[in-house]
Amino acid sequence: MDIKNMQRMVADIKAKSDKKGGIKNVYFIACGGSLAGIYAGWYLLERETEKFRVGLYNASEFIQTTPKAFGEDTLCILSTLKGTPEVEEAFVFCKEHGAYTIALVGEGNENSTKYADGIIRFKSIGEVTTPMLETNVTQSIALSFELLKQYEDYEYYEDALKAYDVLEDMAEKIRKYVNNGPAQRFAETHKNEDVIYVMGGAPAMGVSYGTSICSLMEIQWIHSPTVNSAEFFHGPFETLDRNLPMVHLVSDGRSREEDLRCQRFMEKFGEKVTTIDAKELGIDILGDNVKEYFNHVFLDCAWREYLTALAIERKHPKEVRRYMWKMEY
């Protein structure tokens, strides 16, 4: 992760936009796994800013149902690994309307960068070998911290910089921890499941959504509803029984008690609940003022190992697709 490049990029956009009245809106735009990834950056900025109107949008919906506030005072952060057509269309749309754009894209993806005022490269979060500092999750978090620093003199910016310094060491510890039994037990227990629910909330909602739609539905062809833990007792808990598989991604922060309330209920009435808890993964090593915003990073690092073990047990390689990239759709 190139923090200095990010600092220069934000400073340049700020200098240009300030001459025209400044940035009032910041929109995060993507599809699929990239949308799930940049949720982390959106969540941070939306919770901490006092200046911006912040939104998170699927690229197609952004074009079809554009917010009325969108215009020349908008910064759009668009993410795609390989050049998703809908996101590339959104790049053009944003530039045609005079918005500033930052491209959070994969290596070799040049089409999307033609319309960008700034470029940040990331690597696939689906690969266990990808450094945590090089995913679009962590890059989007860092970008939001940078926006907060330069536009609002964010008081916990230095805490964020310190967090980046320990992420790779923590990732290695997380991998060792989950590969010492938990990931393999999950894979052996769930290799024949047709449905696996995934639940998380607040800072873990993005990783929960990505786990469902990408890891389980796209990569393993397993039906996987995503449940917000704050919504669990407003309908979804009625589906819980002894046979329902559930992956519960528990975050550490202001919403933790909501997750624990769900966990206590599931321990009474469920028998196939797999809990991955950011606190057990060691997130407390980060400063209390910023750790909430790194839940996605810690939980995703652990989940990657679970997914790899599951794919091996199911004899369903992670690269296999039925339709994606094989035909027009």
Model confidence pLDDT, tens digit, residues 214-230: 999 999 999 999 999 99
Structural tokens at position 191: 């290799």
d(CA 224, CA 210): 10
Residue 327 lies in a domain: no
Residues 48-60 have a mean pLDDT of 98
* Residue 263: domain span: 173-314
Q: What is the pTM of this model?
A: 0.96
Q: Are both 40 and 138 inside the same structural domain?
A: yes
Residue 321 lies in a domain: no
Q: Are both 130 and 200 inside the same structural domain?
A: no
Q: Residue 83: which CATH number?
A: 3.40.50.10490
Q: Are both 61 and 129 inside the same structural domain?
A: yes
Q: Are both 194 and 72 inside the same structural domain?
A: no
Q: Are both 271 and 307 inside the same structural domain?
A: yes
Q: Are both 177 and 293 inside the same structural domain?
A: yes
Other CB atoms within 10 A of residue 42 CB: 24
DSSP state of 213: I
d(CA 175, CA 128): 9
Structural tokens at position 189: 């227990």
Q: Are both 92 and 197 inside the same structural domain?
A: no
For residue 188, what are the contacts with CB-CB under 8 A and spacing of at least 6?
313
Residue 322 lies in a domain: no
Q: Are both 143 and 182 inside the same structural domain?
A: no
Find the DSSP H helices in 82-219. Answer: 85-96, 136-152, 157-178, 182-190, 205-210
Q: Are both 145 and 238 inside the same structural domain?
A: no
Split into its structural domains, the chain has a count of 2
Q: In angstroms, what CA-CA distances link 200 with 26, 61, 247, 321? A: 25, 24, 9, 26
The answer to whether 102 and 75 are in contact (CB under 8 A) is yes
d(CA 229, CA 243): 19
d(CA 38, CA 22): 23
d(CA 189, CA 192): 8
Residue 325 lies in a domain: no
Among residues 154, 187, 217, which one ends one of the domains?
154
Model confidence pLDDT, tens digit, residues 105-157: 998 777 778 889 999 999 887 666 788 899 999 999 999 999 999 999 999 99
pLDDT value for 126: 67
Model confidence pLDDT, tens digit, residues 143-179: 999 999 999 999 999 999 999 999 999 999 999 999 9
Q: Are both 82 and 184 inside the same structural domain?
A: no
d(CA 34, CA 56): 12
Residue 329 lies in a domain: no
